[in-house]
C-alpha cells in the first residue's frame, strides 16, 4: 500500500514538474513576443503632434462623433466612463486621462501603448485601424476625452483587459508546442507598413479609403479583404455590389441586401456606424467601388 502511494506521489510530482516547465516556457515566449511587438510599434512613432492652446467646440464635437463611429463607445461606454462586457473590461477614460499627457493619449490610441510603455490588451484595434487616424481626427478624439466631466464608475474593476486573453492553459500549450514542435510566435505579423499620408485632402476616393481603413479594418482586415480568424468577414468588395441607397441602409440600419440581419455588423451599424454623415458613407461607397474595379482589372 505504502509503495503504491509512493509511486503515485512520484508520478504526480513528475506531472507537476513537466506541466510547470511548459508553463514557464510559454510564459517566456509570451514575454518575448510582447517585447518584440513593442519594439516594432516604437518604430512607428510619429513626430510630435502640436495641440492648439485653446480647443474649439467644433473639434470637440468631431471627437464625440468619432468616438461613436470608431466605436470607442462600444467598449468604453457611451461617455467613455468604462464598461464591462462578456469579453473584456475597458477602463474609464474620464478617470485615467489625468495620468496621460495629450501626446501619451495619442500614443495609446494610435499605437496601443499605455503610459507605462506596455501594450494595451483587450483587442483595442490600434494596429489595424486607429494607427491610420490622421492628426486632425486624433486631436479631436483627445479633445473630446478631455472635455468630458469626471464620471465615476463603481462597476469597473481596477484591473482590466481581455477576458479571453492568454489563459494558463494557453501558456502551457504554447510551451509544449515550443518544446516539441519548435513553434515560435510569429513576430513578423507586427511589422507594419509605413504610415499613410497625413490627411486625405485629394478627393473623395482618398477620403473613402481613409474612412474604410479607420472604421472597417478591425474586422474586415487591414487590407479590407476579409478575415478568417476571430472575425469571419467578407472582402469589402461585397459592399461595392450595393447601390448607394442599399449601402446607406446597411451602415445606418444594419440591413444587408435581401433585408438580412448580419450578426455583429447589424449591431455595429445601428449603434455606431449610423453616426457617419451622408457624405462619409458616400465616400466609403465610392472607394469600395473603385477598389473592386481596380482589382478586377489586375
Angle of CA points 55, 58, 62, to nearest 5°:
105
Q: Which of 140, 141, 143, 156 contacts ligand HEC by CB under 6 A?
A: 141
Of residues 220-239, which lie at the interface with ligand HEC (CB under 6 A)?
220, 231, 233-234, 236, 238-239
In the chain, count of helices (H) and strands (E)? 12, 7
> Coil, helix or strand for 217?
helix
> Coil, helix or strand for 26?
helix
Q: Evaluate the CA torsion angle 79, 81, 82, 84 in order and state its sign.
A: negative
Which C-beta is closer to ligand HEC: that of 18 or that of 96? Answer: 96
3-state secondary structure 133-151: CCHHHHHHHHHHHHHCCCC
Of residues 31-90, which lie at the interface with ligand HEC (CB under 6 A)?
67, 70-72, 74-76, 88, 90
Q: Under the criterion CB under 6 A, does residue 253 sit at the interface with ligand HEC?
A: no
Q: Which of 263, 278, 293, 295 contacts ligand HEC by CB under 6 A?
A: 263
Q: Report in angstroms how near the CB of residue 297 gets to ligand HEC at its nearest.
A: 21
Piece of the chain touching ligand HEC by CB under 6 A; list 11-19, 35-43, 148-156, 214-222: 214-222
How many whole angstroms from its chain centre is CA 95? 21
Rg (CA), the chain: 23
Which C-beta is closer to ligand HEC: that of 171 or that of 273? Answer: 273
Contact in structure between 32 and 26 (CB atoms under 8 Å):
no
* Dihedral (Cα; 145, 271, 257, 285), 10-degree rounding: -20
Q: Under the criterion CB under 6 A, does residue 131 sit at the interface with ligand HEC?
A: no
Q: Report in angstroms how near the CB of residue 58 gets to ligand HEC at its nearest.
A: 18
Which C-beta is closer to ligand HEC: that of 6 or that of 260? Answer: 260
Q: Name the residue with the smallest CB distance to ligand HEC.
A: 122
Which C-beta is closer to ligand HEC: that of 25 or that of 269? Answer: 269
Cell numbers for 217, please give them: 479594418
Residue 161: beta bridge partners? 89
Residue for cell digits 481581455? 162
Contact in structure between 88 and 123 (CB atoms under 8 Å):
yes
Q: Which of 9, 243, 264, 279 contacts ligand HEC by CB under 6 A?
A: 264
Q: Report in angstroms how near the CB of residue 287 gets to ligand HEC at its nearest.
A: 9
Count of positions on this chain that bind ligand HEC (CB under 6 A)? 47
Q: Under the criterion CB under 6 A, does residue 265 sit at the interface with ligand HEC?
A: yes
Q: Under the criterion CB under 6 A, does residue 109 sit at the interface with ligand HEC?
A: yes
Q: Report in angstroms how near the CB of residue 93 gets to ligand HEC at its nearest.
A: 6
Cell numbers for 176, please give them: 509544449
Contact in structure between 131 and 151 (CB atoms under 8 Å):
no
Residues that bind ligand HEC (CB under 6 A): 67, 70-72, 74-76, 88, 90-91, 93, 96, 105, 108-109, 114-115, 120-125, 130, 141, 160-161, 215-216, 218-220, 231, 233-234, 236, 238-239, 256-257, 262-265, 268, 273, 284
Amino acid at each position: 500500500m505504502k509503495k503504491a502511494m509512493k509511486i503515485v506521489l512520484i508520478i504526480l510530482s513528475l506531472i507537476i514538474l513537466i506541466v510547470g516547465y511548459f508553463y514557464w516556457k510559454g510564459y517566456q515566449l509570451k514575454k518575448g513576443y510582447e517585447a518584440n511587438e513593442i519594439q516594432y510599434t516604437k518604430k512607428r512613432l510619429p513626430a510630435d503632434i502640436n495641440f492648439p492652446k485653446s480647443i474649439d467646440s467644433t473639434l470637440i464635437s468631431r471627437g464625440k462623433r468619432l468616438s461613436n463611429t470608431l466605436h470607442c463607445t462600444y467598449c468604453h461606454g457611451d461617455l467613455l466612463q468604462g464598461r464591462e462586457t462578456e469579453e473584456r473590461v475597458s477602463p474609464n477614460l474620464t478617470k485615467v486621462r489625468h495620468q496621460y499627457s495629450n501626446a501619451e493619449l495619442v500614443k495609446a490610441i494610435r499605437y496601443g501603448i499605455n503610459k507605462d510603455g506596455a501594450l494595451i490588451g483587450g483587442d483595442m484595434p490600434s494596429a489595424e485601424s486607429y494607427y491610420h487616424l490622421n492628426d486632425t481626427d486624433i486631436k479631436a478624439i483627445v479633445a473630446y476625452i478631455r472635455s468630458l466631466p469626471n464620471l465615476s464608475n463603481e462597476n469597473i474593476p481596477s484591473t482590466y483587459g481581455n477576458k479571453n486573453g492568454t489563459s494558463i492553459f494557453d501558456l502551457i500549450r504554447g510551451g509544449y508546442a515550443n518544446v516539441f514542435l519548435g513553434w515560435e510566435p510569429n513576430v513578423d505579423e507586427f511589422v507594419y507598413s509605413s504610415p499613410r499620408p497625413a490627411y486625405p485632402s485629394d478627393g473623395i476616393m482618398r477620403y473613402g479609403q481613409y474612412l474604410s481603413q479607420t472604421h472597417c479594418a478591425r474586422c474586415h482586415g487591414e487590407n479590407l479583404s476579409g478575415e478568417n480568424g476571430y472575425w469571419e468577414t467578407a472582402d469589402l468588395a461585397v459592399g461595392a455590389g450595393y447601390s448607394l441607397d442599399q449601402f446607406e441602409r446597411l451602415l445606418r440600419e444594419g440591413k444587408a441586401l435581401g433585408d438580412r440581419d448580419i450578426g455583429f455588423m447589424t449591431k455595429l451599424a445601428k449603434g455606431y456606424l449610423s453616426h457617419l454623415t451622408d457624405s462619409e458613407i458616400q465616400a466609403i461607397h465610392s472607394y469600395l467601388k473603385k477598389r473592386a474595379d481596380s482589382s478586377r482589372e489586375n
